[in-house]
Amino acid sequence: MAQIGEWHFIIGADIINKNSAILILITLFTACSTGNLDRKSPFNSAEHKLWINHYKITGSDSFHVDITIHSPNPFFIFSKHDDHFKTKAEFQLSVTDIESEKQVFRKSWIEETVEFFYADTRQPERFVNSEFSIYLDEGKYEFSLMIFDKDSKHKWNVKKEVDILTKTSMSEIFPVYIDNDKYHYTGDQINLKIGSFFLRFQIPLENDETEILTKYTISDMGTIILSDSAKIQIDNKGFIYLPIAIDEDWLGVMEFNVTAGGYSNNVELSFINTSIDKYFQDIPLLVQVMSLILEYDDYKELSKLEPIDQKLYVYNYWRDNDPTPDTKDNELLMEFYGRVEYSNSRFGTLSSGWKSDRGIVYIQNGKPSTVEVTGRDNYGRAYEIWTYRDHRQYVFLDDGFGEYRLYRQTN
C-alpha cells in the first residue's frame, strides 16, 4: 500500500486541513499494531451491569441482598414526547440456588427512563437504572437477568454467580454517592461534577468494632498520585463508607487500592467531565491510533514514554489542536475517534477494524460519497470501490476470508 494522501476532517460543510498530518505508510501502521486493544475500549465499553451486595441481618439466618442494575442508554430506543425522550425497558430477574437447582426468586417489571436531550439517549455513561432488595439464606446462587427493549424487541441476558456468605475477605468495592439522604451506585464512569463519592465495602468483623483504620492509594496509569488513611465509622449493617474527594484534573481510569482490618481489595473507576473524556478510558488504544497522525519521530517518542506521560502527551496534543478552544467540545478529536469507532464496528475481522485497509482509508478521508460492491469475478474475487467527491477512488479486494485489502487507488 503506497502513500494514501493528505488527511482531511469533514465537519458539517467545512473541511479542516491538518498540515501536520503525515502521509501514512502501511509498513508503519503494521509496526504499530501490537496487543489486544479491546481490553477497556471506550468503543466497546457499553454493557449491562448487575451488582449484588449483601449483609447479615442481626439475629437472623438470612442475608439482606441489594441488587442494582444499570443498562446503558444506547441499548434502547427512545421515543420523542413534547420536550423529552422516553424509553421503556422490561426486566426479568430469577435467582437459583445452585446446589439444589431450585429457583428461589423471580420478578418481572418495567422501568421508564426520561432524557431531555437526544444526545443523552446515545451516551453509554447514562443508563436505565433499577434498584431493589431481597432476602436470601446462606448459599451460592445464580442471578439471571433478562433485559428487553419494548420498542426494538431486542433482548440481552446477564448471569452472575454470587456466594451469599458471612464475609471471610473484603467484599467487592462499590462506588456510591448520596442523593436525598440515600446512597446510589455511581456507575462505572463517574462525572467529576459530583465533587465527591464513597467507596463502600465490608470486611469480616471479629469484635464489636464501631470504626476501623482504612488506608488507601489512588493510582493513575500505575503511578500513585495520592496515599492517605482515615478512621471510618462502621454502620449498623457492617458497611464501611470511605469518602473520596474528586480532583477536577482526573481523567480516564484511576485505580483505588483499599486496606482495612488486614484485608485489601481494589477497583478501577473511570472519570469524565465533557463529551471527549470517554476517549481517554483506554490509553493503550489512544496511543496506538496516534500513529495515524503523528510524524514517525514524534510517535516513536510517544511510544517510549511512561503510561502516565503518554496520557498527558495525547491530552496536550488534542488540546493544542482544538479548532474551537472556546467551546467544551473538541470537534476534531470527536470526529477522529468517531471514525475509529466506526471502523472498529464495520471493518474488524481477526483484528480491530481501525487496523484494516478500509479502516485506515476511512479514518483518513471520512465517509465516501459512494460505495460499490461487486459480485465475484471469474477468479472468485469480490471488490469494494469507494469514490469520494473529488473523484478519488479506492478499490479493495476481498482476500477470501472477509478482509478487504487495498488493491488500487486513483487520485
CB 114 within 8 A of CB 78: no
Assigned C-alpha cell, 278: 470517554
H or E element at residue 111: strand 102-115
Quote the pLDDT of residue 293: 85
Q: Enter the CATH code of domain 167-280.
A: 2.60.40.1930
- Residue 28: is its pLDDT beyond 60? no
- Residue 32: is its pLDDT beyond 80? no
- Residue 385: is its pLDDT beyond 60? yes
Quote the pLDDT of residue 139: 93
- Residue 30: is its pLDDT beyond 50? no
Give the residue among 242, 144, 129 at the shortest CA–CA distance from 185. 129
Query: Span 63-81, mean pLDDT?
Result: 90
Quote the pLDDT of residue 45: 53
pTM: 0.65
Stretch among 10-24, 244-258, 272-286 having the lowest mean pLDDT: 10-24
Of the candidate CATH numbers 3.30.565.40, 3.60.110.10, 3.40.50.2000, 2.60.40.10, the domain formed by 46-166 belongs to: 2.60.40.10
- Residue 23: is its pLDDT beyond 70? no
Quote the pLDDT of residue 358: 93
- Residue 18: is its pLDDT beyond 70? no
Quote the pLDDT of residue 275: 64
pLDDT band at 216 (very low <50, low <70, confident <90, very high): very high
CB 347 within 8 A of CB 361: no
Tell me the per-residue pLDDT of 332-364, one tens digit each, with 9 for 90 and over: 888 888 888 889 888 887 778 888 999 999 988
* Domain boundaries of the chain, sorted by first residue: 8-41+287-410, 46-166, 167-280
- Residue 215: is its pLDDT beyond 70? yes
The helix/strand/coil state of 364 is: helix
Instruction: 98-105: list long-range contacts, CB under 8 Å, 24+ apart.
Output: 98/139, 98/140, 98/141, 98/142, 98/161, 99/139, 99/140, 104/136, 104/141, 105/134, 105/136
Cβ neighbours of residue 12 under 8 Å, at least 6 residues apart? none
φ and ψ of 129, to 5 deg: -115, 145
CB 337 within 8 A of CB 349: no
Q: In angstroms, rounded to a whole number, what is the distance separating the alpha carbons of residues 364 and 4?
A: 8
User: Considering the chain, what is the average pLDDT of its residues?
Assistant: 82
Q: Quick check: do 46-166 and 167-280 share a fold?
A: yes
